[in-house]
Each structure stands twice: as structure tokens, then as C-alpha cells.
Amino acid sequence: MRDLFWLSDEQMAKLSLFFPKSHGQPRVDDRRVLSGIIFINRNGLRLRDAPEAYGPHKTLYSRWKRWSEKGIFARIMAGLAAEHGEEKTVMIDATYLKAHRTATSMAAKKGARSPDRLNQGWNKYQAACHL
């Protein structure tokens, strides 16, 4: 696939300052895993749908989960923002929700029962059954 995302050497050099030290066995290739995580997030895919070039989806999930819990991704974002002298908090939200056209109607439907009248018919039915 030509349209895969790969971090450049310059980008990896900036990011590697924030990586935790490896304890015991060396980590799987950081460039491959981080590029895969960015690709998944940027395209809104499930981890299971990650292209094979990024390695097993379980590896992507494990790294994302572990580093998220340790606050490494937050540290990366804060560190990169500090390089640009940004003093304000900048939030980016890519949420897109599409509501059905009837969802905007705030008026009550004609003939709808109010909450206090919902059980009124049921109470009449129960009283008739006891007679």
C-alpha cells in the first residue's frame, strides 16, 4: 500500500526524547508501531483493521494501552506544543455526528401521554381484573 503513513527520521528524533527506557527485552521497532497507531487514529479504523505492514494489531494495542496509561502520549503532545511556545490549551475535536431530521423536533407529539398518565390505562386494567 502506497498510502501508508510512516514517521520520518526527523520526526522520530523529536519523539524519541519522550520514549521510556526499555527494560529487559528491546521493544519492537518504535517507528513501525507509532506509525501504525497514528495511521489507525488518523483514518478512524479499528486496530484489527491495521495493515500488515505495521505488524500485529495486538502489538499496536499493547503499546497504545501501556503508553497511554503511563501518560507518555500526553507527555509527547505537551513537549511538542512547548517547542512552539504555545501558552494556551488547544483542543482538537474531530467528532462528527449526524442527527436524523426528526431529532430536532422539540415539540411533543399529538396524543402523547404525559409521564403521570402513562400508567393510568394499566391501573384501570388491573382494577378490572380484580373485579
pLDDT of the residue at 38: 92
| Rounded Cα gap, residues 63 and 21, in angstroms | 13
Name the residue with higher pLDDT: 95 or 121: 95
8 A C-beta contact, residue 53 and residue 1: yes
Q: Where are the domains of the chain?
A: 34-87
Highest mean pLDDT out of 8-12, 18-22, 87-91: 8-12
pLDDT digit string (tens) for 13-39?
999 989 888 888 888 889 999 999 999
Report if pTM > 0.85. no
| Rounded Cα gap, residues 30 and 27, in angstroms | 7
Hunting for cell 527494560 — which residue is that? 23
Question: Taking the CA atoms of the chain, what radius of gyration do you get in angstroms?
Answer: 26
